[in-house]
Amino acid sequence: MAFLKGQIRKALSGFYYIYAEGATFQTRARGNFRNRKITPLVGDEVMFESDNPTDGYLLEVFPRHNELVRPPVANVDQGVVVMSMVEPNFSYNLLDRFLVTLEDKEIAPIIYLTKVDLLTGTEAVSVAEVKKVYGEIGYPVIAATKANDEEAVRALEQYFPERLTVFMGQSGAGKSTLLNKISPDLQLATDEISESLGRGKHTTRHVELLPLYDGLVADTPGFSSIDFLEMETTELPKQFPEFVEASVSCKFRECMHRKEPGCEVKSRVEAGTIAQTRYDNYLQFLLEIENRRPIYKKK
C-alpha cells in the first residue's frame, strides 16, 4: 500500500474523494475517526493509503486552519459575500454579520454587489456609499450590473488563483447565478426567491471543490443568515479591522468601545472616519452575544 498526502475535494455517501499527485482517489475513512470525534471535511489536507484509484483508506486529517459549517468546508482562504442592492434590499447589518464571521475564521472577505442596474436612485443606500465604507476598511467591493456583469466576474476571478474560495450571502442575491457564470458546467439549481417567504429556497447538495482559475471554488453557496453562536463578547471588537487599528489609541487596553472614557473608536465614529452603520451594528451584535442563552457543551 502506498501512503499519500492529498486534499479532500468531495465527500459523498461515506466516500472521500482525495486529490493527490494529479489524480483523484476514492477512499473510505478508517473507523477510529468517529471515536476521535473527527469528521473529515472537504478542503482537509489528509494522509491516505491506496493501491488503486477506487479503493483506499483515509488515515489522518492534518490540523485545519479553519472550518465552516455551512457549507462544510475546511481551510478556506476567502469568502465572496454576495449582497443584492434591491429585491432584497441591501442590508448593512447582514453584510457586517458575514464580515464578522469571516474575520473570526481568518477568511479574507470580498464583497460582490448584485442587481445594481435595478437601482432607481431613490434607495436608502448607494453603491458609492458601500464602496466608500468598505473600501476604506480595505475590503474589495465589486459591483455587477447587467451591462458590466462580465467585467465584474472577470474582476472577481482575479482573486481565485492559489486560494480556496467559498460563496455566501443574502438569500435571493444571486449566489448560484454568479457561480454558474463563473463556471457554466456547474448547472446549480438557481434559488428563485419564493415570494411568499421572501427567502431563497434551499437548493444545496453535497459540497465539491472545483478547480477554477488556478484555485479551488466550493460549488455550493453557504449560509444566508448568521447568529454569533460561538463568539465571546471580548472577541467581537477584534473582528472589525478599523476598530483594531483605532483601539491602539484607546485609554483602556481591553476597551469594548461602548461606555469607556478615552475611547478612540467612539471619537472616530463622531469624526466620521469610522462608519456609524458599522458602529451601530457592532453594538447590536454585542447585545446579541450578551443576551444569548448559555450553551452547555456536552463533556
Q: Is 267 annotated as a binding residue?
A: no
Q: Angle at Cα 141 formed by Cα 140 and Cα 143, nearest 5°? A: 150
Q: Is 250 annotated as a binding residue?
A: yes
Type of residue at 265: V
Q: Is 11 annotated as a binding residue?
A: no
Q: Is 251 annotated as a binding residue?
A: no
Q: Is 177 annotated as a binding residue?
A: yes
Q: Is 175 annotated as a binding residue?
A: yes
Q: Is 255 annotated as a binding residue?
A: yes
Q: Is 215 annotated as a binding residue?
A: no
Q: Is 275 annotated as a binding residue?
A: no
Type of residue at 274: I
* Helix, strand or coil, per DSSP, at residue 82: strand
Q: Which residues, in sequence order, are CB contacts of 121 under 8 Å at separation 6+?
A: none
The helix or strand, by DSSP H or E, that contains position 84, with its residue range, turns out to be strand 78-84
d(CA 280, CA 56) in angstroms, rounded, equals 52
Q: Is 14 annotated as a binding residue?
A: no
Q: Is 172 annotated as a binding residue?
A: yes
Beta strand pairing call for 193-194 and 209-212: unpaired
Q: Is 207 annotated as a binding residue?
A: no
Q: Is 115 annotated as a binding residue?
A: yes
Q: Is 27 annotated as a binding residue?
A: no
Q: Is 116 annotated as a binding residue?
A: yes
d(CA 82, CA 260) in angstroms, rounded, equals 35
Which residue ranges are tagged as binding site for GTP?
Answer: 114-117, 169-177
Which residue ranges are tagged as binding site?
Answer: 114-117, 169-177, 250, 255, 257, 263
Which residue ranges are tagged as binding site for Zn(2+)?
Answer: 250, 255, 257, 263
